[in-house]
A and B are shown apart, each in its own frame.
Chain A
Amino acid sequence: MGILKLENVGYRYKDAPKDKYVFKNINYEFEQGKMYAIKGKSGSGKTTLLSLITGLEKCTEGDVLYNGKSLKKMNLDKYRNTEIGIVFQSYNLLPRFTAIENIILSMDVSQVKIKNKKQRALELMKSVGLSEEQSKRKILKLSGGEQQRIAIARSLSYNPKIIIADEPTGNLDKETESEILKIFKHLAKDENKCIIIVTHSQSVCDAVDYIYELKK
């Protein structure tokens, strides 16, 4: 049984006509140790679907089940800070915090017991190819690629079972994209994480195990 299951999921904007859905009857299942890509054209609802999976939005129809339990019945804050890690296309890091502070903050919020948070944060940064010197920099003093790595490190900091990434390589060059994909692959294969990537990049689609395509 998959860790995450979408059952007849449909979404319609609040102010939209009753029959106008962004998508409808979505039935996907995601398993640990696998990489998934959700692709589709612009406006197909990729990011909206990701919002439903992360609990940032609620389904108009159907249900999202985590380990067989409906998200509607779960504490979504707890779900987001413990069970899933989110990597946004625009990174969504706190600009006034340093790189390492952003990572430690996620560990603090999750309240998962971690002995030496600073040490773990530095290890995570090292695993995504960032140095200790870079850890002390403020977010705005890091490049896009570096910020994306910080976002990935942050999503891994409290050891979630699922990593959901929205266009994680959209702003990156080929070389960096390749490095990021390597990290995701390692997380899926070696650390048994479920990786879900929303993308329209072919190279990402080539790297994943399964591809779901959203069609209008």
Chain B
Amino acid sequence: MYILKNSFISITRNKGRNISIGIIILVIAACSTVTLSIRNTANNLVKEYEASHDIIGTISFNRGQLAEKFKGGEDAKKSNIEAFNNIEQLTLENIKNYGESNYLKNYYYIYTTSLNSDTLTKATDSYEYEVENKETSTTSTTKTTGGQNNEKSKGGPNGAGGERHTITNNNTTTIITRSKEKFQSDRNLTGDFELDGYSSYDAMTDFISGNYQITDGEMITDFSSFECAISSELATLNEIEVGNKITLKNPTTKKTYDFVVKGIYKDNSNADDSANMYSQSANKIVTGSTVIKTLVEDDSTLVTNITPSFIMQSEDVIEAFTQELKDKGLNEYYTLNTNLDELKNATQSIENVKTFATMFLIITLIIASIVLFVINVINIRERKYEIGVFRTIGVSKFKLTIQYILELLIVSIIMLCIGCLCGVFLSKPIGNMLLQNEIEASKTADEEVLNNFGRGEKLDLPMEMNIRGVAKVEPINSIDAVVDVQVVLQLLVIGILLTIVSSLASMISIQRFSPLTILKERS
């Protein structure tokens, strides 16, 4: 107990010395608080980000590898196409087989096909309309009386489509030609209605991310019944409401399928690369993957496409899962691509800030330890006499060491508290300033890359680079550096370690000093 009392007496009676030590510790504490809070917050942000953004893998066709085997010349065209046709397409069974893996958290897929409809009008910026053309001629030799002769034939002049009616009435022959003319913009769309069959709600990444949003009704609930959600554009164009039925037709077998409209969704992406009248999702009909499976069972020739998404357990399993896919027989022309690079890029700026904060902390602590050590060496030399007196009256070396460490520790803790308070106010602005600098530096680098491609004005690189069909990844662009219990505890540990390191001088001196020598020197 007297050790603590002596420490307090010594602190209060050596104000000058302790204030200098205190100021140094205050600066260290403030710097450490700022760097620790930035580091921890950045760490948590990255962890949260990684936790909320799964590593998603998808299987893509490796066109490059096929191209390597292409042959040139007119004669090779057929063999090239045959080679392409010979590559097996991914089947639903393949995807399910690949998805049954210990390396995955989950998997889902979008099973896509397209159907036509006799009753629905496709949302497109072209339309067909009927044109009637009448040609009347009069002949004097016609003998037909009373009534009329009506001939109907298909095929228009010049081989064009349409109907031709010839009406002969008395001496007048009227040829009515009805043909369909198409009015369309120069930027034509192809295809009819795309049916996207989702295997689960997880697969509906556009709805999860908010690109699409149900504005009327609700999302389909049964993935195996003929329910669907259609775009607001298609609904408006065809005056369809929730609860209505729409009929779609297999383009080959002409078999029709009735779908109940459960919901109408809006495409929130205001702009896309094309400048069409309707959005790319206008003719997209959302349904369950089992529905598509039923369609395929009815007609195995129906053209389908499967886009699988494999949710990885972690970054570490990507290689093993790739190998597993090969072992399970994934064709060499398919490759597994992930969004790992996008995830890393999104957190890169904050990782840089974290690294900077860590480096700054280490340098601060090294310099601080050296400064405090030197101050303590000087301090101990000044207090040699005191050590001698304490030793002669029977204070053990151990207790004396503890007393000197306590003195520094008390000063350290008081200053750490004040420094911590300063750090609380400084952390957030400094953290955001560092991050903004990083983002600016990163943007400048992106701008340089885009300038190289003559696209200097398009700076929103991460949004544009939604490559390989994986989910878009938004970068982190703000940091709310918070001084929490973890930071305070880390600061306390740093304070104790600094105190011990800088007290080494006292510890060594107390062990080395002979009290008699000290007192003789004094005398």
**Interface residue range, chain A:** 20 to 34
Q: Determine if A57 is an interface residue (Cβ-Cβ < 8 Å).
A: yes
> Which one of A19-27, A38-46, A79-87, A123-131 is at the interface?
A79-87
A109 is contacted by which of B386, B388, B393, B516 (Cβ under 8 Å)?
B393
Contact of A57 among B13, B14, B516 (CB under 8 A): B516
Question: Mask for A32-71, Cβ within 8 A of B = 1, else 0?
Answer: 0000000000000000000100101100000000000000
Out of B5, B389, B514, which one reaches A94, CB within 8 Å? Answer: B389
Given the interface pairs A88-B519, A89-B523, A90-B522, the reply to whether A109 lies near B389 with Cβ below 8 Å is: no
The answer to whether B394 touches A80 (Cβ under 8 A) is yes
Q: Tell yes or no: A169 within 8 A of B by CB.
A: no
Bound-state Cα–Cα, A109 to B386, Å? 15
A110 lies within 8 A of chain B by Cβ: yes
CB neighbours of A110 from chain B (8 A): 394
Contacts of B396 in A (CB 8 A): 77
Q: Given A56-B514, A96-B14, 8 more contacts at CB 8 Å? A: A56-B515, A57-B516, A77-B394, A80-B392, A80-B393, A81-B393, A109-B393, A109-B395
Collect the chain B residues with CB atoms within 8 Å of residue A80's CB.
Answer: 392-394
Residue of A nearest to B10 (CB): A96
Instruction: Tell me if B9 counts as interface (CB < 8 A to partner A).
Output: yes
Tell me the complex Cα distance, A57–B391, Å. Answer: 12
Chain B residues lying within 8 Å of A96, measured Cβ to Cβ, are 9-10, 13-14, 386
Contacts A78-B394, A90-B519, A96-B10 given; does A108 touch B389 at CB 8 Å: no
Please judge, given known A-B contacts A92-B389, A94-B389, whether A108 and B2 are in contact too, CB under 8 Å: yes
Chain B CB within 8 A of A106 CB? yes
Q: B313 in the interface, Cβ–Cβ < 8 Å?
A: no
A101–B516 contact, CB under 8 A?
A: no
Cβ-based interface call for A153 (8 A): no
Chain A residues with Cβ below 8 Å from B390 are 94
**How distant is the Cα of A110 from the Cα of B399 in the complex, in angstroms?**
13
CB neighbours of B2 from chain A (8 A): 105, 108-109
Whether A81 and B394, one on each chain, are in contact in the complex, defined by CB atoms closer than 8 angstroms, is yes
Q: Which of B1, B6, B523 contacts A105 (CB 8 A)?
A: B6
Interface size on B, residues (CB 8 A): 23
**Pair B516/A56 contact, Cβ less than 8 Å:** yes
Q: Is A93 an interface residue (CB 8 A)?
A: yes
Contact assessment for B388 and A92 in the assembled complex, using a CB-CB cutoff below 8 Å: yes
Instruction: Give the CA-CA distance A115 to B396 in the complex, in Å.
Output: 24
Specify the chain B residue showing the minimal Cβ separation from A81. B394
> Is there contact, CB below 8 Å, between B395 and A81?
yes
Check A93 against B389 for contact (C-beta < 8 Å): yes
- Chain A residues with CB under 8 Å of B519's CB are 88, 90, 92
Among A54, A57, A93, A105, the most chain B Cβ lie within 10 Å of the Cβ of A105
User: In the complex, which residues of chain A have a beta carbon less than 8 angstroms from the beta carbon of B393?
Assistant: 80-81, 86, 105-106, 109, 154
The CA of A110 and the CA of B396, in the complex, are separated in Å by: 11
Residues on B with C-beta less than 8 A from A51 are 516
Enumerate chain A residues within 8 angstroms of B13, measured Cβ to Cβ.
96-97
A79→B392 CA distance, assembly (Å): 10
- Contact A109 to B394, CB < 8 A, known contacts A56-B516, A94-B386: yes
Question: Which residues in A have their C-beta under 8 angstroms from that of B392?
Answer: 54, 56, 80, 86, 88, 92
CA distance A80 to B331 in the complex (A): 88
19 of the cross-chain contacts (CB-CB < 8 Å) are A51-B516, A56-B392, A56-B515, A57-B516, A77-B394, A77-B396, A79-B394, A82-B394, A86-B393, A92-B388, A93-B389, A94-B386, A94-B389, A96-B14, A97-B9, A101-B9, A105-B6, A108-B1, A154-B393
Chain A neighbourhood of B388, CB < 8 A:
92
Alpha-carbon distance between A101 and B390 when the two chains are bound, in angstroms: 13
Measured CB to CB, the nearest residue on chain A to B14 is: A96
| Chain B residues with CB under 8 A of A81 | 393-395
Closest to B388 in A: A92
Closest residue of chain A to B2, judged by CB?
A108
